[in-house]
Amino acid sequence: MTKRTNPFIDDFLPQSKIHVSLKKYDKHSTDNEKRLKKVYEKTLQMLFNGAKKGTTTETNNNLQDSKVRKDKKKQLFIGKDGNLLHSGCLIETQSIRKNCHCGVTSETKCAYCEFVLCDSCLHTCAGCEQVYCNKCLFVGSEGSEICVSCYS
């Protein structure tokens, strides 16, 4: 079966896209040259201003980063334009003693899930020798305790 013919073929005029800029429209006009020169100068000025702003913010960020690196803890912030800023430092909370699930107060936390552990509930990984809770450890083939990170 053949394709159905277009009933609107008589009304169809082929169209082509043509871009007409001011430069083509007013090719010999002096006003056009002045307008293009203004646009060029404005663009150039915006580029220079942006470059100046970039150098001042980079130096400010470097100064703030040097302060943050002393603590070895830093925090990323989202700026007004949506970009990440490497400024500020992580506010460290004071060591607050919390209760373990068995009721004993302790400061020790699991290295994987940060669950509070007392001395009787903590287990040491044979691979990395960090402290973990019983949920974050597996018993190895030789009976040694291996954490979730070292197991995989």
Beta-bridge mates of residue 147:
137
Residues ≥6 apart with Cβ < 8 Å to 123 = 131, 132, 133, 134, 137, 145
Per-residue confidence band for 143, with pLDDT thresholds at 50, 70 and 90:
confident
CATH topology of domain 93-152: Herpes Virus-1 (3.30.40)
Task: Output the pLDDT for position 72.
Answer: 59
pLDDT score at 105: 81
pLDDT in tens, 31-88: 777 888 888 899 989 888 888 887 665 555 555 554 444 555 667 777 777 777 776 6
- Nearest CA to 68 out of 90, 96, 47, 45 is that of 90
Report the pLDDT averaged over residues 19-40: 71
**pLDDT per residue as tens digits for the range 92-124:** 555 556 777 787 887 888 888 878 888 888 888
Q: In the chain, where are the structural domains located?
A: 22-85, 93-152
Report which of residues 40 and 151 the model is more confident about: 40
